[in-house]
Amino acid sequence: MFTDSHCHLASHKFSAEELDSIVANAKNNGIHRMITLATSLEDCPTNIQIAEKYPEVFCAIGIHPCDVHETPDNYLETLHTFATHPKCVAIGETGLDYFHPAPDGWTENDYHQRQRQFLRQHFELAKELNKNIVIHTRDKSGKQSLDDALEIYSEFANDVRAVFHCFLGPWENAEPILKLGGYISFTAISTFKSAKDSLGAAMAAPSGRFMLETDSPYLAPAPHRGKRNEPAFTHLIAKSLAAARNETLEELALNTETSVSDFFKLPSNN
Ligand SMILES: [Zn+2]
């Protein structure tokens, strides 16, 4: 059995009526747990409601870096309230996105500065609530967003663990993350032949320090590429990565399930 450690079940690409079958399909494919992540203040309540409805679903509460300009300065109090919900198992999705251009009326500098401020505030909240944190980083080229996120993470690494989700490699970039006590997680991108760095990182990642995720509704694996992704497809990612790592599915499940249970502080029999 596997866990989809990162999906967005509150996305408008999943209608509320469909969720029963989305969750059932995941379970039928051996995906017994899902973590659905908020990306804005607006979708926090929906993610919580979904987690309340399904015993298999847990949620994470946070503001995506591409949403910081839409979020009021006093958001933290509201986020704090959401994050104390018993099914909230992490803070996120937060992070730094230097890939997408700054929105109208913002300089790149101010936009990235606000993202760094939010990331630091998310770390403070995680520390206060004794939860771990889910980080997104993305650059046009190079790894400035990763470096900046690591600098902020290092201030909190004694108290909070971070997972760098949708890790794209190369492997050297994982080393400072693991050194700080962090984790990485792999999407279907690691199964694409064109993504050598990401596959290489997935092959090199030590057991117990990485997780699997769909990032659904985005990033569907083959043979569903270009279509809507869903948690059930975690098993396709698992199959490809087990083969690439020369492990059995059972070994990969054991390793990644331990990571998920430790990181999100879930009972390992859940
Ligand atoms: Zn995401």
Domains along the chain?
2-263 (3.20.20.140)
| Separation of alpha carbons 62 and 257, rounded Å | 23
Residues of 28-65 as b/e, b for ≥16 C-beta within 10 angstroms? ebebebbbbbbbbbebbebbbebbeebebbbbbbbbbb
| 3-state SS assignment for residue 31 | strand
> Residues within 5 Å of ion ligand 1 by Cβ?
93, 215
Q: How far is the CA of 159 from the centre of ligand 1 (A)?
A: 23
Cβ atoms of residues 131 and 173 within 8 Å = no
Q: Which amino acid is at 16?
A: A
Q: How far is CA 136 from CA 25, 55, 62, 85, 96, in A?
A: 27, 26, 11, 23, 6
Q: Which amino acid is at 218?
A: Y
What's the confidence (pLDDT) of residue 24?
98
pLDDT in tens, 49-60: 999 999 999 999
Q: How far is the CA of 112 from the centre of ligand 1 (A)?
A: 18
Q: Which amino acid is at 131?
A: K
CA-nearest of 232, 207, 204 to 19 is 232
User: How high is the mean pLDDT of the chain?
Assistant: 96
Q: How far is the CA of 217 from the centre of ligand 1 (A)?
A: 9
Q: How far is the CA of 8 from the centre of ligand 1 (A)?
A: 7
Q: What is the mean pLDDT of residues 86-99?
A: 98
**Statement: residue 116 has pLDDT above 90:** yes
What's the confidence (pLDDT) of residue 268?
63
Q: How far is the CA of 244 from the centre of ligand 1 (A)?
A: 24
Q: Which amino acid is at 60?
A: A
What's the confidence (pLDDT) of residue 269?
61
Q: How far is the CA of 94 from the centre of ligand 1 (A)?
A: 9
| Separation of alpha carbons 250 and 114, rounded Å | 43
Residue whose entry in the numeric block shows the structure tokens 């770390």: 123
Cα distance from N-terminal residue to C-terminal residue, the chain? 11
Q: What angle do CA 22, 24, 27 make, to 5 degrees?
A: 110
pLDDT range class, residue 226, cuts 50, 70, 90? confident
**Statement: residue 193 has pLDDT above 80:** no
Q: Name the maximum alpha-carbon separation found in the chain.
A: 52
Q: How far is the CA of 215 from the centre of ligand 1 (A)?
A: 5
Q: Rounded to 5 degrees, what are φ and ψ at 107?
A: -80, 155
